[in-house]
Structure 1
Amino acid sequence: MAYRILVVEDDGLIRMDLVDMLEDMNFLVLDAANADEAMTILGAEPDINALLTDIDMPGSMNGLELAHQAAARWPDCKVAVISGRYNPTQGKMPDTALFVSKPVSELALSKALQTLGLLG
């Protein structure tokens, strides 16, 4: 079974790069340009296994708020937060969320997915 991951990133090139890396790892990938789009997708696609979200993006909420809402509404959905500008402490993210610093390498991404239990 392939896991489904939602990538939320407002920079189109970074989003495409993350999607490509995840697809190369055999994940089924959905993507959104902001948290509002992501909430719509999460509501319509209940079988998303993980959320990978940037922090700083336009819209009604940032990636940390999205991470908290997703963790509260879909507790089985694993969460990884990415940023090149911020390094949130564990108290700022949901308890089970991981932080990955940008630029995100394939190695860092695969380690995060292993920690979340999505890669063997």
Structure 2
Amino acid sequence: MPVENRLDCEILVVEDEWLVRLDLVEALEEVGARVAEAETAEDALDLMAGAMPRILVTDIRLAGVMDGWDLAEAYRGHYPEGGVIYASANVPIGARQVAGSVFFPKPVATAALIDACHAICSPKK
């Protein structure tokens, strides 16, 4: 893969459907992203306590107490400049989305997801 197409970025994928999570993680790793994964928002928060990813990719409806809306708000509370991408079959609720976030309906087009990650991680000129 050409160097200019590589995604040099840390990404956390939070998805409770393991097969969907696997597809997203593999697609991001194929372009060079360093990807961590979690099944629940609570697991994601534990991972973030060790290292804050540049991008959070989360489903809205998750197993556990917190949903993806809550997780994105908590993430932005700790990392205001972090990128948030929602990937869900649920209807987007503008009032719940964190500012500057991106929403993709499922099934997620991985090319569009990768493009959004590039836009977030690329240095601003």
Is TM more than 0.5 here?
yes
State the partner residue of 1:18. Answer: 24
Instruction: Give the partner amino acid of 2:108.
Output: V
* Alignment partners' CA distance in 1, 2:92 and 2:79: 24
- Per the normalisation by structure 2, the TM-score is 0.86
Unaligned runs of 5+ residues in structure 2 are 1-6
Unaligned runs of 5+ residues in structure 1 are none
Instruction: Give the partner amino acid of 1:98.
Output: V
Match of 1:109 among 89, 102, 113: 113
Note the aligned Cα RMSD (angstroms).
1.7
Question: Which range is displaced more, 24-33 or 99-108?
Answer: 99-108
Report matched runs for 1:1-120 at 5 Å. 2-46=8-52, 48-89=53-94, 91-116=95-120, 118=121
Q: Which runs of 4+ in 1 moved over 6 A?
A: none
Cα shift at 1:65: 0.6
Cα shift at 1:2: 2.5
Instruction: Give the partner amino acid of 2:87.
Output: I
Instruction: Give the partner amino acid of 1:41.
Output: L
- Per the normalisation by structure 1, the TM-score is 0.89
Which one has a bigger Cα radius of gyration? 2
